[in-house]
Each structure stands twice: as C-alpha cells, then as structure tokens.
Amino acid sequence: MSRILFVTKVPLAQRLADDAIRRLNDSGAMSEDRLRDSADRQRRAVDLVRTALAGHDVRERRVHDLRPDDAAEADLVVTAGGDGTVFTANTLVTRAPFLTVNSDPQGSLGHFTRARAEDVPRLIDSWQRDRAAFQDLPRLRCRTATVDVRILNDALFTNQNPAAMSRYMLEDGEGHEKHRSSGVWISTAAGSTGGIHSAGMDPIFALQPALLFKVREPFHAFGRLQRLEGRQLPPRGLRLTAAVPGMALYLDGPNITVPLAPGEIAEFTASPEPLRLMVG
C-alpha cells in the first residue's frame, strides 16, 4: 500500500468572515458569488481526488497546517489548490514526487500544477504501474544564519517596511557592489514569468538551471551602479549582505519570511535536488 500525503487548499471564502465577504461584494472589489463558486469547485475537486486515492495509506493536511516533516515517509505528495499550495508543499523535506492538481482551473492559472482532478485516477494508476512520466523543475538553495531551504519560484530581498530603503552588499561571483534600492528579486527559471518579469526581466525556459536577479528601483545618487541584474545559466551563486536593520527575505511568496540582522548574509546557489512533478 502506497503512502500518500494529500495537501489541500483552504478557499478564501472559508478564510473570510461573512461580514468581510459582504463588504467586498458591496464595494465591488470582489464578487461574493465568485468566491462561493470557487470554494464549491475546490470542494468538488478535493472530493474527486479523495475518491481516486481510496485504498492507499493517505494522510491529509490543510495547507496552513503543513509542517516540513509531514512527508517524511510519503511515497507521493498530492496537492489540490493552485500555485500557492505547491509553494507551501515545496517546503516539505522529502524526495517523493509531486502530483499537483489545479482545483479551480476557472479561477487559478496554476503555473506549477500539472493535472486536473479528473486526471488523478489515470495518473495514480500509471504511477502504481511504474509508467508515470515526470518533469524535473530546477530549484535554488537559500541559506542564511537561520534557514537552509529550497526555492521553487522566487525570493524577494527587501526591507520589511515597504516605504523604507534597502541597503546591502551584492556579490555575484564576479565582483561586489554596495546598493541602495527597493530590494532585489531572485528567481529560478520557472519563476522568471513572475515578480522578476514584472520588474523588467524577460522570462526564460522554465526547465533550465538558472539563477536570475534584478534590482528594484536602484538609487544612483552616490554613483552609477553596475550590478543591477544577472542571468546565471547555470547558477554560479549570489550573496546579499543586509546593511541596515529591518531587512528580510520573502521566499516563494508569503510562505517563508526570514528576518535578517545587519551584517547577515543570504546566499543563493543551485539546489542539487529538483522538484519532480508527475505529468499527464
């Protein structure tokens, strides 16, 4: 019997109080019907996946209850949600492959999901027969004084106060430079269509090993800065040293926040372990 960890998203409609949903609807900022419909689609998708996993040794966790060691003995990790669910599951300490299900294709882009709920019975059958196909997504490793984690998408190195200037030393393997800016995006190839692209860098092929970085809103008053972006194919390494209090790292969105003390270094290198995704 296979051991499977099943990680499920909690829809926004279930995380908000009824009065908050009413305010959103009344203001026109978000439709209550859309929120409720999305939650219904999530529930139906989760039910379909549960049915497909019947007969296996399944351990189920909601995404906000997930702990890094929850998949320690799992043979497979199945997620039902969107990219945020995959990012959180990426914090699991495991070598098991992932089956990532987009539980709401109408409302979620699912850049890192590879299946829909109705695909799961077929994919599980192929996996059990050792006929499943997989795709390896290269990741980055981030180390500070307090964490050692793998990044699937991107990281933002910045001041915790969004109105405050970020001050730091940037070292890219070829030299170093002192910066004042709004911070630095650091990205994998797979994450190159996200925040770093919005900051002005062109995307690259998602399956190649890469370390991309892009400085946000550099401050040039004390001299022209030279190391404002980098495309390391494959990764050589990047070191960012916090030069003021209040700096932090935001890893794969809001999933991991790492405060950085003045003088603390955040080092980015290639991860030797890609994330293995089952594909249809």
**pLDDT at residue 222 tops 70:** no
> Which residues are CB-neighbours of 240 under 8 A, at least 6 positions away?
157, 168, 169, 170, 171, 184, 265, 266, 268
Question: SS3 for 23?
Answer: helix
Query: Are 65 and 147 contained in the same domain?
Result: no
28-79 pLDDT, tens digit each: 999 998 989 999 999 999 999 999 999 999 999 999 999 999 999 999 999 9
**pLDDT at residue 256 tops 90:** no
Query: Are 95 and 188 contained in the same domain?
Result: no
Q: Is residue 279 part of a domain?
A: no
Query: Are 254 and 176 contained in the same domain?
Result: yes
Domain boundary among 71, 96, 131: 131
CATH number at residue 211: 2.60.200.30
**Quick one: residue 72, left, alpha or beta (phi over 0 = left, psi -120 to 50 = alpha)?**
alpha
71-110 pLDDT, tens digit each: 999 999 999 999 999 999 999 999 999 999 999 998 887 8
Query: Are 144 and 269 contained in the same domain?
Result: yes
Query: Are 127 and 149 contained in the same domain?
Result: no
Query: Are 185 and 163 contained in the same domain?
Result: yes
Q: Is residue 280 part of a domain?
A: no
Query: Are 7 and 126 contained in the same domain?
Result: yes
* Domain housing 100: 3-131
CATH number at residue 87: 3.40.50
**pLDDT at residue 272 tops 70:** yes
Q: Is residue 22 part of a domain?
A: yes
CA torsion, points 91, 115, 37, 89, in degrees to nearest 10? -10
Q: Is residue 278 part of a domain?
A: no
Query: Are 230 and 269 contained in the same domain?
Result: yes
Q: Could you give the number of structural domains in the chain?
A: 2
pTM score of the predicted model: 0.90
Domain boundary among 67, 96, 131: 131
